[in-house]
Amino acid sequence: MPGQQKTTFRRATFAGGCFWCMVHPFDQQPGVLAVISGYTGGSVPNPTYAAVCTGTTGHLEAIQIAYDADVIGYPELLATFWRQIDPTDSEGQFADRGQSYQTAIFYHDAEQQRMAEASKAELEATNQFSRPIVTKILAAGHFYPAEEYHQAFYLKNPHHYRRYRAGSGRDLFLAAHWGEKD
C-alpha cells in the first residue's frame, strides 16, 4: 500500500549460559519483537531440556531474537549480549557448568559474522578482562524452541528468576564488570 513503511525483520541467536537469564535484557529493548529460549549447535534433532543437560547432544542453551532492524541494529544486540555474560569462561556460565552453558554468537549471514567478529575484537582491545575471551562465533544452524515452561521464565516465575540470577553469581559479575544489573 502507498505510504506504508516496510519493516525489516531479522534474527539474532546468542548462547549465554542459562537461557532464562538471557531473555529479559533483550525482551525490554525497543525493536525486539520476540525472544525465544531454545537449543542450537547440536547434532540431535528435537532435543529436550533433559537431553541437552546430559551434555551428549552438542546443543547449547540459547535464545533467538526476532527484531526490527529499522528500530534496533545488530551492533546494539551484540553490545547487550556481551554485557550479560562472562566471555572468558570456557566451561559454562557462573553456577551453570558444562558444554550446554558455553557462550557463542550464532551468525545468520556474512554481515552478522563480520559485526560479531568486530565486536569481539573491540571487547578484547579494551583489556577489560584478565583472561582471554573464549566466546565462539559460529554459523547459525537449526534452532529448536525449548519447552513452554522455559519461555519468558522471568515473567512466569519472577521470584525464582531473581533468586536464581543472584545465587548463580551472574548479577555480581555483571555489576563488577559493567556496573549494570538485569
What are the residue numbers of the active site?
Answer: 18
- The size of the chain, in residues, is 182
Q: Which distant-in-sequence residues (6+ apart) come within 8 Å of 35 by Cβ?
A: 22, 23, 26, 27, 63, 64, 65, 66, 152
Q: Which distant-in-sequence residues (6+ apart) come within 8 Å of 98 by Cβ?
A: 53, 55, 91, 92
Q: Kind of pairing, strands 60-68 and 9-16? A: antiparallel
CA distance to 12, 41, 79, 94, per residue, from 158 (Å): 25, 29, 25, 20
Q: Which distant-in-sequence residues (6+ apart) come within 8 Å of 148 by Cβ?
A: none
> Which residues, in sequence order, are bridge partners of residue 35?
65
Closest CA to 139 of 103, 99, 109, 101: 109
